[in-house]
């Protein structure tokens, strides 16, 4: 990455946004000066767009530059499996700026890291859409003369609207008040609220008094207040009688703008049930106290804005769309000038947490680039040490989603324990010394050889003979259920599951006097998730899962989440005929509805116990055995002992 990008609205300071607005005011001059003469903009749109793309392209032409484009990313190398990282590297040698829209959250950030030219985010999944926000702010400023102190009501789908997320942050920064009227189930996502709190000093509180009572009842309303009171009011309304209330707001608050959004049909199936979607029509326009309230909409609209509003002076959404070109001209000019002057970005000086081990925490957002294409984006997180009950929260650099830290480990001592607030000082030290590891699960910790900090005495529950018998018994049952041995694939979950899969396959091969195909699936790694173990035929090509009878093998089943992840990975790749599950130990405590078909031994256990399968393949010089022991919670010991 070189120079400045626009990925999030947070990449620009307020002063810089004002500077862009001044440039936009003088768009005619920009058009005459042609400051982009000789430059090329590449537009890469992985999702459809009319306004954003055309206004960017028009802006570039008006600045005297030219545009190259791939009309349909489905006809590009993407279908051949090119990563976004590679696309960014390649295309940045063809152009001076990239404008990218992608369906994955964080994809544009990942591309910016690999591009040699500035990258502008034209929408990434459900995450952000900062250039639209610039247009929205510019429109508001043009109409109202200022941004500070405005009260903007944001209506509709606040959950899926990336435009909304960027806009809310920007309004907060300029000191505008935001009232949200979310359609049922489409409230602002938690991470947006948290970021508002953390970065802009807004706090969430129930609405208790004043004119908001007329709008919503106390219980279903939330009120966001900044440290300076009355800077921002935010509430989410869950009541199905939304429309009536929207029309009958009796309020001492002055509402400067209604910002409508359409239901994001492409992110949410249009349904028969979402009938409380807020709309604006003639009743709204007749309401005296909205006489100076402008109505905005990022367009396209569906049916949330009636055509009557078009004729009214307050319906300014076509004007808002028209501002798209001057604002984007100004943005391009600004970025070119910044990059010429080699000015550094406004933010992201923060240090990010990257796991010092091969395994580490994974973003919980399945649409995040770190999950969908880990090869393009190495997982990086920011610490937000402010979850409920002192929980330690990580925020993904790419998509802003947060995950709660469950397990922490120390890289030198190779030990792990559950995170607890009592450990926060210890953990700060570990982090400072780059010794902190974070795990999503005990399984991940043990996968790379970490041991619990404190554990009780071990008790043997299976010896070598018992394990051999269990494996043989599982193999026999698999044979009984298998319809077609040619389709059979024994797929171990790495690494203990893989060893067991190999042992099961040996039993099957011996019994049937034929080769059995074995594969391995990696849950916590990145990249090659499913690979062939044997037969080791160099010409065999990649492992094909389509229409296979898969037997998934793991050592211990506990919450079931590992198996669920394995199923997700399998189904991302192909549609197998069936998947059956074989485990050596079932210890109960399921958190997802997964059920093994073959179980070596059921072991009733408490949640404070650990069951460990020790296999010769993994633990050298040791005999096979299964042990159980209890783990002392770190709360019961002084934190000092941990380090």
Partner 1 sequence: MAQEKQILFERDELVRTVNRMAHEIIEQTASPSDLVLIGIRSRGVHLARRLARKIEEVAKTTPPVGVIDVTPYRDDRAREQDPRAIGAFEMPVDVDEKTVVLIDDVIFRGRTIRAAMEAVARLGQAKRILVAALVDRGARELPIRADIVGKNIDPGEGRRVNVLLEESDGVDQITVTDWQGRRAV
Contact between 594 and partner 1 per CB under 8 A: yes
Q: How far apart are CA 527 and CA 355, in angstroms?
A: 16
Contact between 602 and partner 1 per CB under 8 A: no
Q: Which 90-109 positions form the footprint of partner 1 (CB under 8 A)?
A: 103
CA-based nearest residue to 305, from 295, 291, 314, 313: 295
Q: How far apart are CA 450 and CA 447, in angstroms?
A: 7
Give the residue, chosen from 28, 310, 425, 591, that forms a contact with partner 1 under the rule CB under 8 A.
591
Which residue, 27 or 183, has its beta carbon nearer to partner 1?
183
Peptide bond into 495 cis (omega under 30): yes
Which residue, 78 or 231, has its beta carbon nearer to partner 1?
78
Backbone angles phi, psi at 61, to 5 degrees: -60, -40
Which residue, 406 or 633, has its beta carbon nearer to partner 1?
406
Tokens describing residue 347 = 């933010």
Name the minimum Å distance from CB 305 to partner 1: 22
Which residue, 96 or 555, has its beta carbon nearer to partner 1?
555
Contact between 579 and partner 1 per CB under 8 A: yes
Name the minimum Å distance from CB 592 to partner 1: 5
* Cβ contact 599:611 at 8 Å: no
* Cβ contact 418:406 at 8 Å: yes
CA dihedral of 219, 224, 228, 232, whole degrees rounded to 10: -110
Which residue, 253 or 421, has its beta carbon nearer to partner 1?
421
Contact between 270 and partner 1 per CB under 8 A: yes
Q: How far apart are CA 501 and CA 519, in angstroms?
A: 8
Give the residue, chosen from 13, 50, 190, 469, that forms a contact with partner 1 under the rule CB under 8 A.
190
Contact between 219 and partner 1 per CB under 8 A: no
Q: Which string of x and - marks every residue 521-560 that binds partner 1 (by CB under 8 A)?
A: -------------------------------x--------
Neighbour-count burial for 472-506, b at 16+ CB within 10 Å, e otherwise: bebbebbeeebeeeebbbbbbbbbbbbbbbbbbbe
Give the residue, chosen from 14, 339, 455, 597, that forms a contact with partner 1 under the rule CB under 8 A.
597
Q: What DSSP character marks residue 206?
A: E
Contact between 563 and partner 1 per CB under 8 A: yes
Which residue, 269 or 313, has its beta carbon nearer to partner 1?
269
Interface segment toward partner 1; rule CB under 8 A; list 50-58, 221-229, 303-311, 578-586: 578-586
Contact between 578 and partner 1 per CB under 8 A: yes
Give the residue, chosen from 34, 343, 575, 602, that forms a contact with partner 1 under the rule CB under 8 A.
575
Contact between 159 and partner 1 per CB under 8 A: yes
Integer angstrom CA distances of residue 435 from 243, 356, 395, 427, 429:
54, 7, 19, 9, 8
Give the 3-state secondary structure of residue 164: helix
Which residue, 96 or 187, has its beta carbon nearer to partner 1?
187
Interface segment toward partner 1; rule CB under 8 A; list 16-24, 32-40, 127-135, 272-280: 272-280
Largest CA distance in the chain: 86
CA dihedral of 182, 186, 191, 196, whole degrees rounded to 10: -10
Look at the alpha carbons of 571, 574, 576, 579 in this order and tell me if their dihedral is positive or negative. Answer: negative
Contact between 393 and partner 1 per CB under 8 A: no
Beta bridge partners of 6: 120
Q: What DSSP character marks residue 78?
A: G
Which residue, 332 or 557, has its beta carbon nearer to partner 1?
557
Interface segment toward partner 1; rule CB under 8 A; list 19-27, 198-206, 376-384, 567-575: 567-575
Which residue, 323 or 419, has its beta carbon nearer to partner 1?
419
Q: How far apart are CA 69 and CA 83, in angstroms?
A: 18
**Pairing relation of β-strands 459-462 and 40-45?**
unpaired
Contact between 38 and partner 1 per CB under 8 A: no
CA dihedral of 613, 619, 625, 626, whole degrees rounded to 10: -20
Place of tokens 């608050």: 253
Quick count: other Cβ atoms within 10 Å of Cβ 296? 25
Contact between 595 and partner 1 per CB under 8 A: yes
Name the minimum Å distance from CB 569 to partner 1: 11
Give the 3-state secondary structure of residue 592: coil
Q: Which 40-69 positions form the footprint of partner 1 (CB under 8 A)?
A: 47
**Pairing relation of β-strands 488-493 and 407-410?**
unpaired
Contact between 435 and partner 1 per CB under 8 A: no
* Cβ contact 171:231 at 8 Å: no
Which residue, 3 or 161, has its beta carbon nearer to partner 1?
161
Interface segment toward partner 1; rule CB under 8 A; list 18-26, 206-214, 218-226, 588-596: 588-596
Residues designated as active site: 51-52, 80, 101, 129
Backbone angles phi, psi at 193, to 5 degrees: -60, -45
Place of tokens 């209330």: 245
Q: Which string of x and - marks every residue 441-480 that binds partner 1 (by CB under 8 A)?
A: ----------------------------------------
Give the residue, chosen from 88, 567, 599, 615, that forms a contact with partner 1 under the rule CB under 8 A.
567
Contact between 268 and partner 1 per CB under 8 A: yes
Binding residues for partner 1, rule: CB under 8 A, are 47, 103, 125-126, 159-160, 184-187, 190, 264, 266-274, 364-367, 403-404, 552, 563-564, 567-568, 571, 575, 577-581, 591-597
């Amino acid at each position: 990455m070189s120079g400045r990008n626009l990925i999030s609205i947070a990449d620009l300071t307020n002063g810089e946004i004002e500077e862009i607005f001044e440039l936009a005011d003088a768009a005619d001059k920009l058009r005459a000066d042609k400051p982009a003469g000789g430059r090329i903009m590449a537009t890469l749109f992985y999702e459809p767009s009319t306004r954003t793309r055309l206004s960017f392209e028009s802006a570039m032409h008006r600045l005297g530059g030219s545009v190259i484009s791939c009309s349909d990313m489905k006809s590009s190398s993407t279908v051949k499996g090119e990563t976004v990282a590679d696309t960014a590297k390649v295309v940045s040698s063809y152009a001076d700026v990239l404008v990218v829209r992608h369906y994955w959250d964080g994809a544009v950030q990942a591309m910016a890291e690999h591009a040699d030219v500035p990258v502008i985010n034209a929408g990434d999944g459900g995450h952000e859409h900062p250039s639209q926000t610039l247009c929205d702010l510019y429109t508001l400023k043009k109409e109202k003369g200022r941004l500070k102190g405005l009260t903007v009501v944001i209506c509709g789908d606040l959950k899926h609207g990336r435009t909304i997320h960027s806009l809310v942050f920007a309004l907060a920064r300029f000191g505008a008040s935001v009232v949200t009227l979310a359609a049922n189930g489409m409230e602002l996502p938690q991470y947006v609220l948290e970021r508002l709190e953390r970065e802009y000093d807004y706090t969430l509180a129930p609405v208790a008094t004043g004119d908001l009572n007329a709008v919503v009842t106390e219980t279903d309303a939330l009120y966001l207040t900044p440290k300076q009171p009355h800077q921002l009011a935010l509430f989410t309304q869950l009541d199905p009688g939304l429309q009536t209330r929207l029309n009958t707001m009796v309020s001492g608050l002055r509402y400067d703008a209604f910002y409508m959004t359409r239901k994001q049909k492409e992110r949410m199936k249009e349904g028969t049930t979402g009938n409380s979607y807020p709309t604006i029509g003639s009743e709204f326009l007749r309401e005296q106290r909205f006489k100076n309230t402008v109505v905005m909409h990022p367009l396209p609209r569906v049916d949330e804005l009636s055509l009557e509003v078009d004729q009214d002076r307050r319906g300014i959404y076509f004007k808002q769309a028209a501002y798209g070109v001057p604002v984007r001209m100004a943005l391009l000019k600004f970025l070119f000038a910044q990059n010429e002057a080699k000015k550094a970005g406004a933010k992201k000086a923060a240090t990010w947490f990257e796991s010092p081990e091969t395994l580490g925490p994974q973003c919980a957002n399945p649409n995040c680039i770190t999950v969908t294409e880990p090869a393009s984006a190495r997982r990086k997180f920011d610490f937000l040490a402010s979850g409920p009950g002192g929980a330690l929260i990580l925020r993904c650099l790419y998509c802003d989603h947060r995950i709660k830290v469950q397990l922490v480990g120390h890289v030198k001592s190779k030990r792990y324990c559950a995170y607890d607030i009592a450990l926060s000082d210890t953990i700060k030290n570990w982090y400072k010394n780059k010794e902190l590891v974070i795990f999503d699960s005990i399984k991940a910790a043990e996968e790379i050889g970490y041991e619990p900090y404190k554990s009780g005495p071990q008790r043997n529950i299976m010896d070598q003979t018992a394990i051999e018998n269990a494996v043989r018994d599982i193999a026999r049952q698999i044979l009984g259920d298998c319809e077609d041995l040619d389709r059979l694939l024994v797929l171990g979950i790495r690494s203990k599951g893989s060893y067991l899969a190999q042992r099961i396959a040996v039993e099957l091969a011996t019994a049937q006097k034929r080769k059995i195909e074995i594969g391995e699936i990696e849950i916590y790694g990145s990249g090659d998730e499913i690979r062939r173990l044997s037969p080791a035929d160099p010409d065999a090509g990649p492992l094909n899962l389509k229409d296979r009878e898969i037997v998934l093998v793991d050592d211990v089943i506990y919450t079931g989440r590992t198996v669920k992840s394995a199923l997700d990975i399998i189904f991302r790749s192909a549609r197998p005929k069936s998947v059956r599950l074989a485990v050596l130990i079932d210890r109960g405590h399921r958190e997802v509805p997964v059920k093994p078909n073959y179980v070596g031994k059921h072991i009733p256990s408490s949640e404070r116990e650990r069951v460990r399968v020790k296999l010769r393949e993994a633990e050298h010089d040791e005999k096979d055995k299964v042990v159980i022991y209890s783990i002392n919670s770190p709360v019961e010991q002084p934190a000092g002992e941990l380090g």
